[in-house]
């Protein structure tokens, strides 16, 4: 049997790759493909908004948003061991940018700062999240160096949801339970999760779904009062929305649901609903309706991409 030759994994000094934190690392991380790497590690779809974005006399290394939403993400980089100064900065930047998510990227996290981030997540509601992420670089033999993001601290979404239930109405608890079921189904559906990612569950009647486009996104709907589930095309461009409305009979036939056009202050689109008997109490039927929603959302995504491509 021939001898198997295996390479040796070697850790690379971060400063050998990025000598200067702001000029090298922040610039690298702000590039689309690298921001996507961080987003994948953090279970987020990230889109760059700005670098060195001002907060008073300070500046945020990277300001991003969750793709297809207005949820802001502050990213603070520290190519060294965590310290109290940067811990204070991430809180200041979160307040200054009204951020929903803070990602603290570091070379090494001290135990006391891991605990501090854990404490922040335990004592804030589900509208804001703090993530502590270590960046490493590795190579095998003479191969190219490769980065790896390790998420050390992040919110315990299940624990947060359980805590929040104590202050919820019965209707809100039903909505939260539905979206928890929806998200589990979405993440386990390989075809859906290849291109789309659901948001964190909440007690709202909708859930935004990013499709990687700035002008349009799709939405999943759940109405306890109307005993219905649905999907939606939501556009920031009114002319683009009108093109979907003009094509509504085709879309209704495509996904098998009745469409209702709408025109809000900043967005327009179509909501498609299906009525469900006893949706509130018949939780056993939820997986069936969610399966339809996931399929309909994938179909709508394809239609959005076709229309946007034709308009370019």
**Per-residue confidence (pLDDT) for residue 213, from 0 to 100:** 66
**Per-residue confidence (pLDDT) for residue 195, from 0 to 100:** 83
Query: Which is nearest to 309 in space by CA: 260, 234, 254, 243?
Result: 243
312 residues of the chain, pLDDT tens digit each: 677 877 788 999 999 999 999 999 999 999 999 999 999 888 888 889 999 999 988 899 999 988 766 689 999 999 999 999 999 999 999 999 999 899 999 999 999 999 999 999 888 877 789 999 999 999 988 889 999 999 999 887 656 665 665 667 888 888 888 998 999 999 899 999 888 877 777 788 888 887 766 678 899 999 888 889 999 998 888 888 899 999 999 999 999 999 999 988 888 999 999 988 888 888 888 999 999 999 999 999 999 888 766 665
Q: How many Å apart are CA 292 and CA 220, to the nearest integer?
A: 11
Phi-psi region of 52 (alpha: psi -120 to 50; beta: other; left: phi over 0): left
- Residue environment code for 223-247, b if the CB has 16+ CB neighbours within 10 A, otherwise e: beeeebbbbbbbbbeeebbeebbee
User: What is the DSSP secondary-structure string of 162-181?
Assistant: HHHHTT--HHHHHHHHHHHH
Q: How many Å apart are CA 205 and CA 220, to the nearest integer?
A: 9
**CB-count exposure of residue 19 (10 Å: 0-12, 13-18, 19+):** exposed
Q: How many Å apart are CA 134 and CA 149, to the nearest integer?
A: 6
Helix (H, G, I), strand (E, B) or coil at 21: helix
**Count of beta carbons in the 10 Å neighbourhood of residue 253:** 9
- E-only strand ranges, the chain: 9-11, 46-55, 58-66, 72-81, 101-108, 129-140, 146-153, 197-198, 206-210, 216-223, 228-235, 258-263, 268-275
**Count of beta carbons in the 10 Å neighbourhood of residue 271:** 19
**Per-residue confidence (pLDDT) for residue 278, from 0 to 100:** 80
> Which residue has 């908004």 as its token pair?
49
Q: Are 218 and 297 in contact (CB under 8 A)?
A: yes
**Per-residue confidence (pLDDT) for residue 60, from 0 to 100:** 94
What value, to the nearest 5°, has the Cα angle with vertex 46 and ends 45 and 47? Answer: 130
Q: How many Å apart are CA 99 and CA 91, to the nearest integer?
A: 10
């Amino acid at each position: 049997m021939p001898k198997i030759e295996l390479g040796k994994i070697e850790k690379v000094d971060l400063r050998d790759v990025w000598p200067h934190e702001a000029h090298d690392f922040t610039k690298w991380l702000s590039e689309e493909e690298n921001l996507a790497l961080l987003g994948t590690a953090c279970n987020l779809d990230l889109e760059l908004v700005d670098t060195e974005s001002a907060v008073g006399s300070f500046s945020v290394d990277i300001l991003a948003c969750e793709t297809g939403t207005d949820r802001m993400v502050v990213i603070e980089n520290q190519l060294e061991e965590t310290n109290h100064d940067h811990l204070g900065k991430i809180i200041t930047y979160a307040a200054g940018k009204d951020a929903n998510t803070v990602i603290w990227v570091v070379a090494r996290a001290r135990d006391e700062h891991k605990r501090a981030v854990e404490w922040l997540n335990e004592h804030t509601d589900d509208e804001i999240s703090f993530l502590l992420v270590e960046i490493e670089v590795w190579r095998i033999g003479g191969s190219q160096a490769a980065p790896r993001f390790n998420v050390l601290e992040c919110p315990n979404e299940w624990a947060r949801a359980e805590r929040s239930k104590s202050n919820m109405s019965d209707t809100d608890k039903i909505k939260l339970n539905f979206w928890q079921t929806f998200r589990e189904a979405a993440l386990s559906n390989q075809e859906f999760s290849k291109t789309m990612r659901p948001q964190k569950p909440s007690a709202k009647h909708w859930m935004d779904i990013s499709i990687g486009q700035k002008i349009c996104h799709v939405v999943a709907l759940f109405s306890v009062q109307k005993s219905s589930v649905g999907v939606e095309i939501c556009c920031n461009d009114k002319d683009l929305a009108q093109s979907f409305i003009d094509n509504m009979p085709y879309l209704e036939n495509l996904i098998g649901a009745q469409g209702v056009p709408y025109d809000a202050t900043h967005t327009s689109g179509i909501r498609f609903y299906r009525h469900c008997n006893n949706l509130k109490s018949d939780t056993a039927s939820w997986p069936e309706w969610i399966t339809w929603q996931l399929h309909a959302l994938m179909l709508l995504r394809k239609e959005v991409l076709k229309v946007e491509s034709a308009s370019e």
